[in-house]
Structure 1
């Protein structure tokens, strides 16, 4: 009888050993899970209205990190991070914030994450850290809130070469909607592609040989297919040739009201590194077609301008990049357009000062008074080049009362997108002021070159017909420059919290907020517990 019992228990233990290698035993239940990168998975539960329980499951036996990225760009600079590791003494975490890519993130003055459990499995080379934190911590100057606003939260992740926090071995960026089941989500572009009334149209370079020079602007004209009489482009997807991707600096697309890219033009789309597919709101799109013209501009041709950057003069580069436009004859209520603020003509006479410098460009009330009516803004994207560090546009009513400030506190050229998703109204007579802050060596000027600088805020709006002046307002385009000089510091708030201000801000969430514990204890695996029970049982059995 003893032999049968021992065999049964041994078989049970072996089955648990096999399953333990495939499945992690967490200390609590998690509602959602998602693979963010190969070997990097997160699990989470929103607890009540205030807390998030988060588990990091990473194929790494060294330090691991996870962060809420700079909300406008999704970059490492300006990210709120947690790093941690497991060693013989237990699990360890540090709440951090990052000032820039390549700069070691500093420890927060206020440590707002609480470590609930930890595991390290040498057989699967996996580290698990289970954490909890307020969704909206009181410390918002070194911590980022996790908001239930319908917009996915931009995140970053990394893992290192040792337990000592330092240079990462691997990293990624992504986005997570923490308030929606990820298994039910479908990308907006995928939804559009699945529609039977939607047609795709490719506007691509055709084996273009990239010159052996630093900066090249290549333009190609595409005419709207003649079968299209009246339609709206409702989504645009970039297509970057993998073989030439390192040299594609950005795209700009202009629409023309006549064939062969002639007569009136409007900028209608732009892409730069970090941008994803663009899907228009349900009430607007780009009007195209050869039928009777609408009140606004109905575009009959498009010019795609590709900026190539080949600083090392690599020869024999061939490019087939461009965009895919998705259009439908099911018309929408409004025609959309882009208003360019800041310095839309690009050129400015002087060299940017060495060190930190600040440029403030105005689109004054006298310019917006010329609008035919209010415009609805649904996206915006600030654009600078490599020395750009901070970007924002302030919107004021005619009485100069501040309405909003769209802000990229930590600008990164490699993370550009139509980031601001707030829908708002610009009325005739409103004042718009765009500020760009740079850090240069004193040799940089404004211009079209990759090594030069720009300051443009691309604001997407509707209806198109309410804005004139070719969709531009700023320096040399009705507006002016208000300030252009060296400054001593950035206009940033994030990262400025002093340790003395932590009193009353940071406190671990009460135990009652945690989900009920499952079979695993913090830092103590279920498998180890079962081995202990089996060992005790066998000792008792054979001692009889």
Structure 2
């Protein structure tokens, strides 16, 4: 993928997950030095950078370095990158090297399955010196593992486009545009096995993400195009993601033995198409016809893919104090009611991929699996979450969830830049704590989410609680949010009784109060 807007910096990579070795090939349109490494969220200081180039006499130079501050490069004491290729022609320089996921050098950042902030830099001569003009950072899932065999498309593959129609992009920094569209009308069952974004070339830099949400067949849907989370709450209907793309992403293909079913009475018939536009230059008169392309076939796969939404119920009882260096929120799912809600016996389900979602205060998420009160494993996680990179992530191996297991979603937030309470909600200034499991075989469960006992939390903070949960949110606004009170609130949310809400695809709901354990 390109790492810069002008497409002068191109990166290719591959990895050996067993050997824990990653190989990069960086090509830059320069005859000077080039560099590639990993940085963190807040500063270039401490970034690692592998630097190389070709001198005018044809000799190559190559070294493993790091940034002492925002501008100063220093060579690592341990050289952990291995040069595989370094060439230069009249237009560009190409450098290929490998490095371990983890080295013993404290100046090297670990390569993990979290979001990695890849740093690329270059110069116009052979003196390595940082320049803001020639430095780029891009969030990438470097260790995305693809389960499918990339086999040839089925002969009867049909393509169906879900597009927004000639939409005039507002001159605002951020717009969430939504419309409701029908899925393909088919006379018998088919499987969607792949999706990819439809992007208008001149508008690519303005489209931040494209999401497709399945609607329950009982939903009464609006018409036209409108703000997703604006004054009309109907436009936030349909919340079960079936396809998603974000900046930096490509197409996504399901594993070979699963697909999203369409064409049966149990399947969704309509979707909500959401497109997030980032018009930071406030350009006028730009029209767009972006969307999502679906590939589907009558050659059925072994399993129907389902999407299970987990986390904290999206409403204001989910709160995050202002000025928090770190604040953890928890949402519990208990699967022991799944069979009753499903209306039929529930077998083990297999999770093959996850999609993680918070808003701007989110810093990390993880999904934990418990059985009989014992933690089994972390199903998926990202301790370096980036709101600007939201995509499905394949798991290294499918994770089996048995009836009766408990699933805990944990979200980490930071609100040092806020002097106001942040509450759960659909707007970007609100927050969410959600993880979507892509699993098979599909059952009739759409979501399983929890929320804490706000009355208990209010009392633990030394405030007089009301029996009306929403009134307690006003009480929380009056709390002096010192670091001690922030930690006290986090502890109370973790220890409080959780209410678990389970929704079926056909919009039946059960509510159960339970201790988190």
TM-score > 0.5, shorter chain as reference: yes
CA distance in 1, matches of 2:60, 2:198: 47
**Residues 1:339 and 2:304 are matched in the alignment:** no
Q: Tell me the equivalent position of 1:144.
A: 110
| Residue range with higher mean Cα deviation, 204-213 or 125-134 | 125-134
CA distance in 2, matches of 1:111, 1:213: 48
Alignment of 1:434-513 (within 5 A): 434-440=409-415, 441-442=417-418, 443=420, 445=422, 446-465=424-443, 467-468=444-445, 470-475=446-451, 486=486
Alignment of 1:266-305 (within 5 A): 266-289=240-263, 293=265, 297-305=266-274
Q: Tell me the equivalent position of 1:251.
A: 210
Q: Tell me the equivalent position of 1:382.
A: 356
Give 1:326 deviation, angstroms.
0.9
CA contact (8 A) 2:26 2:96 kept: yes
- Decide which of 35, 38, 41 is 1:65's aligned counterpart: 35
Q: Tell me the equivalent position of 1:421.
A: 395
**Residues 1:160 and 2:123 are matched in the alignment:** yes
More relative contact order, 1 or 2 (CA 8 Å, 6+ apart): 1
Query: Aligned pair in 2 of structure 1 residues 379, 464: CA closer, same or farther (>3 Å)?
Result: same
Give 1:195 deviation, angstroms.
3.3
CA contact (8 A) 1:340 1:459 kept: yes
Give 1:354 deviation, angstroms.
1.5
CA contact (8 A) 1:118 1:130 kept: yes
Give 1:450 deviation, angstroms.
3.1
Q: Tell me the equivalent position of 1:199.
A: 158
CA distance in 1, matches of 2:449, 2:199: 30
CA contact (8 A) 2:190 2:296 kept: yes
Alignment of 1:32-431 (within 5 A): 58-67=28-37, 81-84=49-52, 91=61, 93-96=63-66, 111-113=78-80, 124=90, 133-134=99-100, 137-138=103-104, 142-144=108-110, 157-160=120-123, 162-167=127-132, 169=134, 171=136, 188=150, 194-211=153-170, 216-256=175-215, 258=217, 266-289=240-263, 293=265, 297-308=266-277, 315-345=284-314, 347-348=316-317, 350=319, 352-365=321-334, 372-404=346-378, 406-422=380-396, 423-431=398-406
CA distance in 1, matches of 2:149, 2:104: 33
- 1:483-503 Cα offsets, whole Å, 9 max, x none, are 997479xxxxxxxxxxxxxxx
- 1:326-379 Cα offsets, whole Å, 9 max, x none, are 111111222212212223525446454224232322224366665733221111
Q: TM-score, normalised by structure 2?
A: 0.64
Give 1:129 deviation, angstroms.
6.0
CA contact (8 A) 2:362 2:387 kept: yes
CA contact (8 A) 1:274 1:416 kept: no
CA contact (8 A) 1:343 1:475 kept: yes
CA distance in 1, matches of 2:79, 2:162: 49
Structure 2: gaps spanning 5 or more residues: 222-236, 461-480, 489-517
Structure 1: gaps spanning 5 or more residues: 1-33, 148-152, 181-185, 489-544
Query: Aligned pair in 2 of structure 1 residues 308, 348: CA closer, same or farther (>3 Å)?
Result: farther
Match of 1:407, SS state, is strand
Q: How many residues align?
A: 424
RMSD: 5.1
CA distance in 2, matches of 1:424, 1:234: 20
CA distance in 2, matches of 1:418, 1:481: 34
Q: TM-score, normalised by structure 1?
A: 0.62
Give 1:265 deviation, angstroms.
7.7
Match of 1:421, SS state, is strand
Query: Aligned pair in 2 of structure 1 residues 126, 91: CA closer, same or farther (>3 Å)?
Result: same
CA distance in 1, matches of 2:25, 2:247: 30
CA contact (8 A) 1:356 1:486 kept: no
